[in-house]
Amino acid sequence: MRVLAIDTSLPAVSVCIYDGDAQQVVVRETLPMQKGHAEALMPMMERVQRLGGGFASLDRVAVTVGPGSFTGIRIGVAAARGIALACGIKAVGVSTLAALATPLLFSADELIVVAAIDASHGNVFLSAYNSNGRVLTSPRLISLSDACRLLATGQVIATGSGAEGLRETARALGQEILVDHCEAWPDIAAVAKLGAAADPETAPARPLYLKAPDVTLSGRAALPRAVS
């Protein structure tokens, strides 16, 4: 199975084409950026598909659906769904947290792997996995201190932009958490592998925000009406 993988959910834009049968990345590109994902993604897609044998060879599109930047998630999902529609193939969604955790799984240390994305104001988007990749804590938005309480029982290695905050908070609570110092965005090959394994029925390419839209009711109230 040949998979096109897309990630625009965190401070980078990544695209790759992955050959599932050979278990090899055919072509990949990643550009770190805080903003400008929308402008960068489609030109990158154009380059990657040109080097990777075009769209006709694809069997599936995988995209990170969050948690992460709301706008970033939607750009990736829009591109993935557009390509799926155009090529008549399935688009699948991959959890950004699962993609962050993937490179740390199946190690000999049997650590609990925690993926944590900084969600500001002392919060993280977090998910925890045992060393076999089984989900221990499903993706959620949680305060750093609640997260540490949740993780108090095991030996933990954390990755992602929220990992350092998690370690500091844990230390203040007398816990020790290991931190994996890799990039703050997922390895696009991990997104592709998870996407190849995903079931399109249960993993739709649909944003996972974990947070309601921020809405403030504003404006003048209506004038009083006469009671008839």
What would the x/- binding string for other proteins be over residues 62 to 101, using CB under 8 A? --------xx--xx-xxxxxxxxxxx--------------
* d(C-alpha 178, C-alpha 134), whole Å: 19
Q: Which of 38, 141, 178, 182 binds other proteins (CB under 8 A)?
A: 38
* Beta carbons within 8 Å of 60's beta carbon, 6+ residues apart: 1, 2, 3, 4, 89, 90, 91, 92, 195, 196, 200
Burial of 4 (0-12, 13-18, 19+ CB in 10 A): buried
Residues in 100-159 that interact with other proteins by CB under 8 A: none
Q: Which residue, chain included where needed, has tokens 């970033």?
A: 72
Q: Does 39 bind other proteins (CB under 8 A)?
A: yes
Spatial separation of the C-alpha atoms in residues 96 and 125, rounded to whole Å:
10
In the complex with other proteins, the residue whose CB is nearer, 131 or 209, is 209
Q: Which stretch binds other proteins (CB under 8 A): 10-18, 37-45, 138-146, 177-185?
A: 37-45
**Residue 161 in contact with residue 135, Cβ under 8 Å?**
no
Nearest distance from C-beta of residue 72 to other proteins, angstroms: 10
- Map the footprint of other proteins across residues 151-210, applying CB under 8 A: 206-207, 209
Q: 79 vs 116, which CB is nearer to other proteins?
A: 79
CB of 142 to other proteins, least distance (A): 21
- Beta carbons within 10 angstroms of residue 221's beta carbon: 6
Contact footprint for other proteins (CB under 8 A): 38-39, 41-43, 45-46, 49, 55, 70-71, 74-75, 77-87, 206-207, 209, 213-215, 217, 219-220, 222-228
